[in-house]
Each structure stands twice: as C-alpha cells, then as structure tokens.
Amino acid sequence: MTAAIIAPSRLRLGLAVLAVGAFSAFGTPAQARGPEGIADVAEKVIDAVVNISTSQTVEAKGGGSNSMPQLPPGSPFEEFFDDFFKNRKGPGGGSKGGDNGPPKKTNSLGSGFIIDTSGVVVTNNHVIADADEINVILNDGTKIKAELVGVDKKTDLAVLKFKSPKPLVSVKFGDSDKLRLGDWVVAIGNPFSLGGTVTAGIVSAKNRDISSGPYDSYIQTDAAINRGNSGGPLFNLDGDVIGVNTLIISPSGGSIGIGFAVPSKTVAGVVDQLRQFGELRRGWLGVRIQSVTDEIAESLNIKPPRGALVAGIDDKGPAKPAGIEPGDVVVKFDGKDVKDPKDLSRVVADTAVGKEVDVVIIRKGEEQTKKVTLGRLQDPDKVQAAVKSDEPAPEKPVTQKALGLDLAALNKDLRTRYKIKESVKGVVVTNVDANSDAAEKRLSAGDVIVEVAQEAVSSGADIQKRVDQLKKDGKKSVLLLVSNADGELRFVALSVQ
C-alpha cells in the first residue's frame, strides 16, 4: 500500500499534488511568487529522491479474462478500467468471466530518499507494509531490489537498503526545530506514479497534533502532495531534508493544501536506531498521565494550568522508586518544559534508555525535583481494559448521596457485583445522576473513589465531609482520584457548587 487519504472525519495516511494559479482582475499573474532558489534546490537533490515499488500476493476476485488488471493506485488508467469492468459484472456483482482465479500480485508505488551513498533509503512504513517484494527505482529509471532494515509503526517510518551498480547521490537531515512559519519548503516525490515531481509551498504550522499516533508533532505545509508522495522528502531551501511527507487531509483524495510531514528531528532519531538495532528503543517513565484541566489546576493550586498529571504508577516502572506519586504534575523533564501530556510522551520516548534525568513535579502546590533512571518501553504496549458487570447484587447496599453520586463502602458483595479487584480500596459508586457534573465527566457505577482532595476515603460520609470543607474554603471544585475495577487510576474534577 502506497498511501491513504485523510478525510475531514477520519485522519488517514496519504499525500497529493495540486497546481494553483493566482490572477488579478485584469488576467495578469498576481505578484505573489516563490523564491528564486527552488530550481537550484530541485536540481541539487532530485537524484537522491527515489520511487518505492512494492508487490504483494493477494487472493484474486472475479478471475477470468474479464478481471480488472492490477494497476498502481493513482494510475491515470485506474478510473477508466474501474468503470469499464464494473459495467461488465454479471448478476450479483460477479464477473462474467468465471470464478475466483489463482492468487495475483498487486503493485503499489510510493516515494523515498537516499541518506547514505551505500544505499540507505528512508520512506513511510505504510508504503512498504505487508509487501512481498520491495524495489527502489532511481531517478534515471534503474530498478533495484531492496531489503527492509526496520520499521517504526508509531511514527510511520521505515528504512531500506539496496546495492547500486552506480554511484549514488544522498541528502542530509536539516534542523526542523529552526523552521519558522512561512518558510518556503519543497516536496519531491512520485504522485500518481508520475515520478520526480517537484512542488513548493510554505510551512503552515509546526508541532501539529492530529491524533494519528502517540508522538504526533507534524510540520503542516501547503506544498502540493498526493497519492504516491508518501515517504518522500520535504526540503528547506538549503536542500536539507526537514520532514517526511506522510499525511494529508482531503475530502476528495486530492490536495487541498493541508499536508503533514514528520519533522526531521524525529526522523533522524528513529532512523539512527533502526539502522543500529533494527527496532526502536524508547525511554519509559512508567506512569499513566492525563491533561491538567482548568478545574484540576484550580484544585491543585497550579497557575496557569500546565503539565502532565500523573494518574497512575507502574509498580515495576522507574517512576515509583524515584518517588513520583499519583497526583503529581510533571512540568519539566530533563530540562525541557512540559506543557501537556503529549509533550511528556514525546520527550520521554526520545530520551535514551538508562539515562538519569531530572523530573520537576508540582506536589500540593510546591515544586520538587526527582531523579529518574529511564527504563525501556516495551512494544506492543499492554493496556488492560476495565471489566464491569450490570448484574444486580443480592441486597441493596446502604448508600449516601454526594456530588450527584450514590456512594457505598466496599464490601464482598459489591466487589463481586462490579468485579473489583481486592487491591482497590475506597468508596464505590453505585449510581450516577444523569444530570450531574459526574455524569458529564463519565463516572459510572462500579468506579471507586480512592481519594478526595488527595486524602484517602473509605465511606460516603468521608466524601461528604471533605466536600463540605471545600465549600467552606471557597473552592469551586473537588479533585477525585478514581479507580476502575482493574485498579487503573484517573483524576476527575467535579463542581462542588
């Protein structure tokens, strides 16, 4: 698969090319124009940009002489043949030519670029995913079989290697951190199987999070990029690679001027590890984190709201022996400011395994510094889902109402009803008022309130007492530490008004 397209309702992988002309009311070209250096950049780097051709064996559908030929996605003939063979299908949608034939090979095309004259190529993982055979096609048309060095699915990057019978041209990574909004950039790739296509645009945004992965920090550009451009380089005007074109947002499959590239700072680190180890070795802190909302910030006396709130600690992770606790807010990691959970996830992942770092936290309104020696993040991540039951208990427990919740002390019957682990301590929620703030924050029956305002509770009366005190103190919200049945923790701020 070479690429996919990102519709507004669903972000998916893909890229596109679009020619745009601007004219004045009198039909003359508008004054806006690109810099003179684009041609020099293209001429300098074009031979380092390659096409990636892959083939995959798939089960044939509707075999016989009437089956549609296999074409690269985006081929100019794809739409023609698609319409032609749809019209030749028999009743029920089957081909008139007979039953399914033998397995066939499908071909797809993408882009890549050479970073080492020994024959090392960078591309997108989705360009070569599930391929039986991978070939690199040089700018002069030479086709050479390539081997896979390694992939990183979380950043959608892959490294290939091949042996060339002729000298190669390579490009180097630039510093994506130095990019400014409005800087000119040049994209080169293989849109719609056309090969060696150059387009230009500007940097529209930096550090863009489009929720496509855990480490999103894309460069957004209006440079035209399309199907087949995936894995191709995004250059600055010095001819350095400052990104790998990976995604677009498009309602139609064509470019609308919103494309995304993985920044070179991320790419360079991933490529180094893939070349060295064949896999990624990311740092691991051993915490579960969530956003610091305005309500949570008010409850924790954090002004302005910032950082990553620690909701849970892995018993075997490096954060626990370092003294980090649930309720701590991480505001700085290894000298880098942490504005939100994504910041922390990215900087931890980019930090070397085994490195000792300073982690600055806010605990009960005061900053503290903890020294942590990072572990290694295991892949795939193991996530346990909460298991809940709606089966009624034999007897209705004694409950107390507070914060729109029906609350009861944990006992054997309630643990059985909601399948709550023995390690979970606190006050169980047995019902939630549908019109309450608690319902909006997605609290539900079977959740267990472990702490109120960072103090442990064991009964509904404990909770009501803490809420009454907070009201007297003029607080607008109360911070709850909530556990699910499996013991996974999260913080929830509820209004006390």
Q: What is the DSSP letter of 381?
A: P
The catalytic residue among 152, 156, 328, 462 is 156
Kindly list the distances between the CA atom of residue 303 and the CA atoms of 297, 452, 471, in Å, as whole numbers in the listed order. 7, 20, 20
Radius of gyration of the chain (CA): 28
The catalytic residue among 126, 217, 264, 334 is 126
Residue 252 appears among annotated catalytic residues: no
CB 297 within 8 A of CB 332: no
Strands 233-235 and 283-284: unpaired
The catalytic residue among 230, 250, 255, 345 is 230
Residue 53 appears among annotated catalytic residues: no
Amino acid found at 253 = G
Which residues are paired to 431 by β-bridges? 406
Closest CA to 221 of 254, 251, 260: 260
Largest Cα–Cα separation, the chain: 83
Residue 238 appears among annotated catalytic residues: no
Amino acid found at 25 = A
Q: How many CB atoms lie within 10 A of CB 36?
A: 8
Strands 197-208 and 184-189: antiparallel
Tokens coding 348: 């931890």
Tokens coding 273: 């590890």
Q: Which residues have a Cβ under 8 Å from the Cβ of 13 and sit 6 or more positions away? A: 3, 4, 5, 6, 124, 126, 156, 230, 246, 247
CB 430 within 8 A of CB 420: no
Active site members: 126, 156, 230
